[in-house]
Amino acid sequence: MTAPLRVGVAGLGTVGAGVVKLLRENAALIAGRAGRPIAVTAVSARERHRDRGVSLDGLRWHADAKALAAEPEVDVVVEVIGGAEGPARRLVEAAIAAGKPVVTANKALLATHGVEIARLAEAKGVPLAYEAAVAGGIPAIKALREGLAGNRISRVAGILNGTCNYILTEMRLRGLSFEAVLSEAQALGYAEADPSFDVDGVDAAHKLAILAALAFGRPVDLASLHIEGIRRVSALDISLAGEFGYRIKLLGIATRDEHGVSARVHPCMVPLASPIAAVEGVFNAVLAEGDAVGRVMLQGRGAGAGPTASAVVADLIDIARGRGAPVWGADALDDAPAVPMERHVGAYYLRLMVTDRPGVIADVTGILRDERISLESMLQRGRSPEEAVPVVLVTHDCEEAAMRQALARIEALDAVLEPPAVIRIEAL
């Protein structure tokens, strides 16, 4: 057996400590699959003496993560610090400049600076591996870059944030409000004290930007993504969705057609019969559609020490074996244009809270008619001239631009008492 692959780990939080632990606990199995031992020799973190549940005895310590790039006892750098800037970016760029392979779980860094970092890695001829950056332990990157390499991918989509999926699941099962479930998720450690990154769709958008770049062989383009979170999804909408045969999920969806590439993150209603509707709790799912293979879906835990460490170690095994691929799956990237959200075509769920009086429905449907939007079904709940009552409309396919114009006019009606709730319908 050849000399060990020596690893420097930057960041000793949940994931970093998990990587150290997994490499030790499964050392013999990993060595057999890698063709050589893989051992952590150096680490870096902000606090040296904190108990992380794993011994750091005998490991070289660096207060400055960037020092791992120059560490002679390190062959490959694992970056699990996080963040698009600061020490994470400095370390990754320094390691590549030093000719050392990099394994990262940093979706924000790749979504924001992936084009430049990939160019640096390719110019130096060193691997840049990032399986752990998307969907935790689900091998989504390997599936797209290797397993589906012979396919022309037309769509990649999925549940890419476990926090949002947990919140929507609990709201449905228990009939609770978004705020109530979010507080519980924070207490359980499923959501951060500041949950914006998750519940506003930013985390899912970073992951979708990476998946879209890989699926379509084009540069990462975070700026072109349409992003909405789940703050406005109500328990009432979740309940009504079930009556119409749907379940609400926060999805990231990227498609490619003759017009270019569209990428969007927002709440969706998916049919109950769809496999993705059954993905509950903190679980993630990634779906891809190829011209040869058809539809493929992977499901599993999208975060946590074990799943994410599993993905990091898989990349380390590839590096130890000398296996590699272009960062974005192709040597020459495509420059397909981004398709704006206004050109999206699909069906919509609208919920209006209106004053129950004659002529309201006629006014609303008249606006939809003017914008060439046809209805598939309508539901009105309750009768009360003194209180707002919900009216639910489900449309046939129409263009997003027309829907936005219709919504602006509907919201301006005196009888409409609050902004309409709008959720796009996706037949995944």
Distance CA 40, CA 10 (A): 11
Distance CA 425, CA 428 (A): 9
User: Running DSSP on this structure, what letter comes out for residue 416?
Assistant: B
Which residue has tokens 């004053």? 355
Distance CA 239, CA 36 (A): 54
Q: Residue 316 in contact with residue 103, Cβ under 8 Å?
A: yes
Query: Residue 127: phi, psi to the nearest 5?
Result: -70, 145
Distance CA 268, CA 274 (A): 12
Which sign does the torsion angle of CA 229, 136, 287, 239 carry?
negative
Closest residue by Cα to residue 323 from 15, 103, 41, 17: 103
* Beta strand segments in 64-152, E: 76-79, 102-104, 128-129
How big is the CA angle at 223 (ends 221 and 229), to the nearest 5 degrees?
110
Which residue has tokens 């999804």? 233
Q: Which amino acid is at 121?
A: A
Which residue has tokens 């930057």? 10
Q: Residue 261 in contact with residue 338, Cβ under 8 Å?
A: yes
Q: How do the residues of the chain divide into helix, strand and coil, expressed in percent and rounded to 5?
A: 40, 25, 35
Other residues' Cβ atoms within 10 Å of the Cβ of residue 382? 10
Distance CA 206, CA 302 (A): 14
The SS3 of residue 177 is: coil
The one catalytic residue in 66, 107, 142, 207 is 207
* Residue 207 known to be catalytic: yes
The SS3 of residue 309 is: helix
Please give the positions annotated as active site: 207
